[in-house]
Amino acid sequence: MSNPELPHTLNPSSHPGPSNPSPSPHQPPQNDLRNLRNKVALVTGGGSGIGRATAIVLAERGAAVVVADINAEAAKEVAADLAARGLEAVSVAADVSDEEQIRRMTATAVTAFGGLDILHNNAALLSPDVLARDRSITEIDGELFARVLRVNVLGYTLSAKHAIPHMLARGGGVIVNTSSAAGIQAELVRPMYGTSKAAILGLTRSIATQYGKQGIRAVGVAPGVVLTPALSDNLTPEQQLGLTRHTLTPRVGTPEDIAYLVAFLASDEAGYITGTTISVDGGFTSHFATYCEELTAAELASVETRIVPPPVVAEGPLTQPAVR
């Protein structure tokens, strides 16, 4: 794997890490949109979709960001765009199914910025050929399922394994794991994906429990329907309407909806939140299954007229299913 792209103004000492990662409740942190200054963040799956949006928001909030992705060019493009805006970012190619690549990925943060404070575990195996074979329990291929778990579960676990020692050296840190609404409620398809995302709920609790007293928080985020531009291009208006009917908000989600929550959870303002998973799904998982049947014709018509398209965000080919 090639060396990461490092910015010319690199100065690891400029990111000393938090002197007090858990501020006293009697001294609440200031409300500052640059509230991640002096923090170093690592985002896996950062080349597109939710990961890309999160890398951008974290950098805008002041963090130095390592953009990691199996697609080296996509990661490099995100980091270059941030650097062109005067923000601190480097890229690294990493396949999170390979522990040696994970070790080098986390070491990149230390080499580039002097440490690591924030890990957003977001990479997932979402290739169309895998999703096409994730249909029924009786049709599961054991080797393919093992591959899904190696990326979606073991990849998160090993990333935390290699990140935690660096966080402990800085006095604490935050790990945010991307789960999914599919890990909370079952679908008629994708049992392998849903099972892998359900495992993230337990992993998040385990990390929080084992390392909370040492200043490390772990929180999960569970996105619902996240309509990326690429996904929007591949859904008919009827399909979009069907998804929106089950969402309590007037629109479905965007990658930025997830990114803003991750940025908050990574900040000191969220210092008392750990060991839980927060749904970011517009109420998708909050209501009775009969919700749509109970809507009146007028309400359904209102839903159809209130579909709000997501903001245009440039990204690569479709890599995400309807429910992230």
Distance CA 10, CA 40 (A): 13
Whether the CB-CB separation of 37 and 62 falls below 8 Å is answered with yes
Whether the CB-CB separation of 85 and 57 falls below 8 Å is answered with no
Q: CA dihedral in degrees (242, 245, 246, 252; nearest 10)?
A: 90
Whether the CB-CB separation of 132 and 72 falls below 8 Å is answered with no
Whether the CB-CB separation of 274 and 172 falls below 8 Å is answered with no
The two most distant CA atoms of the chain are separated, in Å, by 61
Distance CA 136, CA 115 (A): 43
* 3-state per-residue secondary structure call for 214-244: HCEEEEEEEECEECCHHHHHCCCHHHHHHHH
Asked about 193 being catalytic, the answer comes back as: yes
At 306, list the tokens: 């209130």
First to last CA, the chain: 29
Q: Which residue of the set 156, 193, 211, 272 is catalytic?
A: 193
Residue position matching structure tokens 């396949």 = 95
Q: CA dihedral in degrees (247, 276, 96, 310; nearest 10)?
A: 20
Distance CA 22, CA 167 (A): 13
**Which residues are the active-site residues?**
193
